[in-house]
Each structure stands twice: as structure tokens, then as C-alpha cells.
Amino acid sequence: MSNKITSKPSMFSLGGASVAGGPASAVGGGASGPNTGFARGQRPCSNCTCSPGLLSRQGRRTSLFMRQVNRRRSSGTNLPTRKSLSNESIYSSDSLCTTKNVNTTERLLQLRNKMKQEDLAVYIVPSEDEHQSEYVSSADQRRSFISGFTGSAGIAIISRDLLNFNEKPEGKSALSTDGRYFNQATQELDYNWTLLRQGAKNEPTWDEWAINEAIEQSLGIGNKLVKIGIDPKVISYKQVVAFEAKIKTLIDQAGGLAKVELVPIKNNLIDEIWGLFEEQPKRPSFELIKLDDEFTGESYDSKLTKLQNELQKSNSKSILISALDEIAWFLNLRGSDIAYNPVFYSYLIINGKEAKLFLNNNYNPLIKQYFNENNIKVHSYDEIWKELSETTNILKDEQQSISIPESASWEIVRNLNNCKFKQIHSPIDFFKSIKNEVEIKNHKKAQFKDGLSLIKYFAWLEDKLITKEQLIDEYSAGEKLIEFRNEQSNYQGNSFETISSTGSNAAIIHYSPQKDSCSMIDPSKIYLCDSGSQFLEGTTDITRTLHFSEPTKDEINNYTYVLKGNLALENLKFPEGSNGYQIDVLARQFLWSQGLDYRHGTGHGVGSFLNVHEGPIGIGFRPYLLSYPLSKGNIITNEPGYYEDGKYGIRIENDMLVEETSLKFGDTPFLKFKNITLVPYNKKLINVKLLTLKEKQHINDYHKEIWDSFNSKLDKTSIEYSWLKRETSPI
């Protein structure tokens, strides 16, 4: 198969960490005045006029240093080595030009004008698209546009002061995000925004903040009705039910006099103002590709039968599927409508053996034949709302119900015409999380290919930085990794934007370097590389932390505590029915013993040539994981870490397969993890004195497995052969 996922720039985990300091948010302490538009410690370049959001989407960030480098290249001059430069640190982000933060004042003004027309006091802008996707196309990055915050997770809330009668409406604005993005959000948000740190002590949740703003305004205008608005396509019905319950609770707590209502706003207000500031992106619809049985291991007909059997348990035969990765997996199709995620924008209705697929993508005659053979009727994407209404009318007449997923949007429920529906966790989400034998075999092939690519990459990077003393910036290094991956068959692109980060940038958990606006890799500091591939065989997600010279004692010890936690989780045997919430502590225990921790989950499911973050399973501290036990055939990451803001970050991530063991307690079988990633740990960062004999043996056995897997694949005179031999030698 020659089809390849289209490589496109991503906004999902933009870091901007090379900037010293960060913008002063409303809670940040310290300020840069509203007329400057610059963060603390930043200095503008001479020609920056666009916002970071626009610059990133168009790939137009520039820097004085990189322009000088490009002039050297065009004049035929070799790149300077480290010894040839001045005493100023060539690795310091201060040597790079920094761009203006987005000044959101005018954007918020235009949004509040639209809110006034809709009689809204509060407007909510989530990160998700209408399929509740974690990662979205540029056309759905509305929260990024209005706030300037470009991380993949978060929600913006904007209020309009109903007691302010000035010509220009005023109000407040807040951005809520989780611990992965506290650092990044502090840098990217301007003075108009308050940062709500999810999970922080005494910090309101986004819905509490929004509702309390509305309650305060209702009480201020004589207990009249105050409306909170949202596009009903971009919030799930389940969230709406919870939000409305929270309204009642908070009103009661405030004395019961306020009147607040959540209302659907059909035309997304961000879409209505976007074009006033920059060209609004169009949602893509790239051509579909069909996966052969050698990659899927199960036919569409088999999956349909399995789904029907599951629906019969709840006396239903109809289901609406809206999650993009579920549709792609179920139909054995892939697309490239969202960068790094091989999915396509679509809806799917299953009614008995009939399927109706709604999309705008082109497809070849072989796929058309495949649709015909499997009774899959294809309609245009926007026809879903008409079809949903007609389908539910028929079901209502037949006194039947339709199943909809827990993630179904509010707009879906609004179009059900009062038909009975059952909201369930989509069976397909469970089906795809348990890999069949073919998928498991292919995942291991993908890991082998990516392991070889990373070994070549790390050896190349060390040679360039240390032996040849060359300058390599974070972004260029990540591009070189793509070159090594391109040597492998069936490589379809990266599975997410590479986190190639040096020094303090590694402390930004979801940092990603931007072309012409990132730091030089400093060999005297920690380097963290979190990257993954999409192969037809499977998806990978691997993180390694390295040091190329002399790490500090703290760096060595903290790396070792992270590694010990990683090994403890990998070596666990656990009874069937156990979940990721119960075992998360194992990965944190050695950090906790030192009073340390990390603000992200320990593991997530990984798709089969699908999304790199795949539900419903995970390992972490979020209570919802209690509902989703780990099962044989799951592939899940193991990625503890440690981060010191402004200094360095450490993360070690492997992909693990859940397997059976021979153990049983009564009738309950036990399961275990198998690490299928094949990339050595950084020996220079391991404090052997902190390891037990069992841990040392585990590491040595793992490194021997890697050496045995790859040494015959490498030229014995090559730098990667020497690098691998050194890094896999016994500790």
C-alpha cells in the first residue's frame, strides 16, 4: 500500500518554551502592561506583527539567529561550530528573537459584541470538535484562536458584564487546563486571561467559574435570567446534564434567588469573528485509504456481528457512532483529516445490518466496491442531521430506541426528535482497545522499526553535538528523526508532534519546538525526546531522556527514581479486573519517597495505526479509570517523569502489552505487562547504587534483548553500532 498520511503542522502541543519568563496572567503575579503585548523577559524582533497563533498555523515564525544561519547557508559558508562563536551562550533562548504574544483584547471585544446580540452573559469555548476529539484540525482550534493558548487540552470561558453599558462591552476571561500545561499557559496567555489550574487546591473548575460569574450577574440585575451559551456541537450531552445539575447546586448555595440557564447557540460565535483577524482555516477532507486484512486481523463483517451481539444485550439494534477513531477502526479505513491522527471526519449509523456513513472524503473505486459489498450507504457529512431526524422518527413509530455514545454531542440529542435513546459507552471503544493476534504481531513490528530509527537518531545526534561539535536546533533534530523513520517500510508519518527539548524546555511537558524559533540543543544539559510513529502495522509512543556530557547529581538521582518507578510498573503482576487507577502509585513511589511527583497520568492506551491516545483505559489518578479494567491485548504506555521548571525535565516512556500469566487466585487469572519498546535507557543518567540487584538484572536483560535485536542490522563500522554497543553493555 503506497498511501501515506499527509504530514501537516500541528498546534496540539506547542510549547514556546524558549522564551524566558512568560506573560503575566491575571493570577501570575507580575505584569506587562496592556500596551506592550510582550511577556516578561521577552524582547520583540523588528518585524513581528502577527500573533503566535497565526504565525504557528502558517509556519512563519522567524528569528534573527536563524536568518543569519540561512544567510551563511546561501553564501556557501559552513555552519559555525560551538568554538567559533562569542562568549554569549549559543544555546540560550535569549539569543533567539521572540514573537509577540497574541493580544486578545480586540478578539474578546468582537466576541462580546456577538454575545450581546445573543443576550449572553457567559460564552464557553471548548478545545474539542463536534466529535469530542482530543486533537482537532486547524479549523476547530477555536479556543486557541480566542485565548492564544495552543495546548491540546483546556477550555476558555468569557463573560460579558451586564451592568456595563459602555459602547465597548467588558468582562472577564479565564482559561482552564491541567498540570501538563500550567507552564505553557503561563507563557502564552496575555493580561486579559486568568489561568485556572485544574486540580490545584482552592482553584475553581471551569464550570464553577462560569456558573458563579452568571449567578453574580443575575443577583446584580435583580435576580433576572442570565444565559450561558455554547455551541451544542462541541459539548457532549453528558457534560450538559452535569453542567445543569451544577447550576442548580451553586444557585442553592448562593441563596436560591439567581436564575441561570445554559443555552445552545447554533452559529459558533468564534467562527463568526475569526475572519476579522486572520484567514479562517477550512476543515480538510483528504482521500480515504483501506487497510488490508494483514494489518487489521478482522473483517468489517466480523466487527459488525460482534457489535450487533453487544447491542442485543440492551435490546437495541441501532447505534450512532460519532468518535472518529471508532469509525475508522470499525470500517477498516483510515484518513488524514487531523494531523498525526489517521482519521476522517464522519458519522456512522448502524441499524441492523445496514450502515450509513456520512463524510465528504473522496475514495477510490476499490473502496466504493467495498462499501457496496458490505451494504454501507454513503451520504454527505452535513446530511447527518436530516438523517438522524428521519431515522429516529422511524424508530419512534416502531417503538424502538437508538443507542448513542456517552461522548455524543448535545446537538445529536437535540436532533433525536424525542425518540427514546440509550446513552452507553460505545462497545467499539472497548473492541479496538483489545488488540487481536494480528494487531499485536504488527505492533511489535512497528516497535522494531521505530526502535531502529531512534537508535540511529540518538547516535547521530551525539556524534554531531560531541564529536563534530556542531550546532543542532531542537526542530532540525526532530526533522532528522523523520529522515531515519522514512527509511522504514510502511512509515506513514509521526503519531504526534515531536517533543525535542533541551534544558529548561524539557520541563514543559508538552513542549514542541517551532521551526526557526527554538533553542539549540545544549549538550551540557538534559535532552528529552518524546516521539512516535504511524506505521501501517501500528502506532508508537516512546520517550527517552539523555545527557551528552556530565549530568548533575540531582539529574542522575531523579532520572533513576523515574526509571525505578517505570520498572516497578512493568514488573507488576495483577489480578484480572484491576484498573490503572489502582496501580498508578507504583510508578510514583520512588519519587514520592523524595517528596517529588509529576502532574500527568502514567499511561494511556495506544491505537493500531490510529490515535496515539486511545481510550478507555489508562494509568493515572483520575477516578474515571476505576471503570475501565485492563485486559489481555491492551497496549498501554508506561511514562513516569519528573520536571523542574526552568531547569530540566525527565520522562521515560515505553509501550507495554497486557498478557496472561500462569497465576490464578481462585477463579481469577492474573495478568502482566510486556515491554515491547526497544530503545536503551541512558546509562550516564543511572545511579546504579540506587538500584536493587533485581532492577540491575532487569535493565541488563532488557539491554541484551535490544542488542540481540539490532546489532546484526547495523554496520559494525558505523556510529550507531558503537553507540548501541556502549549503551546496552551491562551496568
Does position 11 have pLDDT exceeding 90, yes or no?
Answer: no
Q: What is the pLDDT of residue 418?
A: 73
How far apart (Å, rounded) are the C-alpha atoms in residues 193 and 10?
24
Does position 453 have pLDDT exceeding 70, yes or no?
Answer: yes
How far apart (Å, rounded) are the C-alpha atoms in residues 8 and 280?
17
pLDDT (mean) for 569-592: 98
Weakest mean pLDDT among 47-51, 146-150, 497-501: 47-51
* Per-chain mean pLDDT for the chain: 87
Q: What is the pLDDT of residue 396?
A: 64
Does position 559 have pLDDT exceeding 50, yes or no?
Answer: yes
DSSP, residue by residue, 256-312 = S--EEEEEE-SS-HHHHHHTTTSPPPPPP-PPPEE--HHHHSS-HHHHHHHHHHHHH
**CA 322, 328, 330, 333 torsion-angle sign:** positive
DSSP character for 237?
H
Total Cβ atoms within 10 A of residue 281:
14
* Per-residue model confidence as pLDDT tens digits over 302-328: 999 999 999 998 888 899 999 999 999
How far apart (Å, rounded) are the C-alpha atoms in residues 608 and 343?
12
pLDDT (mean) for 470-499: 97
Q: Find out whether 322 and 405 touch, Cβ atoms under 8 Å.
A: yes
Cis peptide before 513 (omega within 30 of 0): no
Strand order from edge to edge, sheet including 122-126: 194-197, 173-177, 155-159, 122-126, 225-230, 259-264
C-alpha cell at 402: 437508538
Nearest to 342 by CA among 8, 11, 676, 601: 8
Domain chopping of the chain, boundaries = 105-274, 289-426, 437-695
Q: What contacts 607, CB < 8 A, 6 or more positions away?
A: 325, 329, 432, 539, 614
The correct answer on CATH 3.40.50.300 for the domain covering 437-695 is no
* Per-residue model confidence as pLDDT tens digits over 224-282: 999 999 999 999 999 999 999 999 999 999 999 999 999 999 999 999 999 999 999 99
How far apart (Å, rounded) are the C-alpha atoms in residues 314 and 78?
69
Confidence category of residue 497, pLDDT binned at 50, 70, 90? very high
Q: What is the pLDDT of residue 390?
A: 82
Confidence category of residue 66, pLDDT binned at 50, 70, 90? very low
What percent of the chain has pLDDT above 70?
Answer: 85
Strand order from edge to edge, sheet including 421-424: 376-379, 354-359, 346-351, 318-321, 402-405, 421-424
What percent of the chain has pLDDT above 90?
Answer: 79
Architecture of the domain made up of 289-426: 3-Layer(aba) Sandwich (3.40)
Q: Do domains 105-274 and 437-695 have the same CATH topology?
A: no
State the amino acid at position 93 in one-letter form: S
The kind and range of the H/E element at 225 are: strand 225-230
How far apart (Å, rounded) are the C-alpha atoms in residues 230 and 265?
6
Strand 648-651, strand 668-675: pairing: unpaired
Nearest to 236 by CA among 205, 207, 272: 207
Q: What is the pLDDT of residue 397?
A: 64
| CATH match for 105-274 among 3.40.350.10, 3.40.50.720, 2.30.40.10, 1.20.1070.10 | 3.40.350.10
How far apart (Å, rounded) are the C-alpha atoms in residues 518 and 502?
10
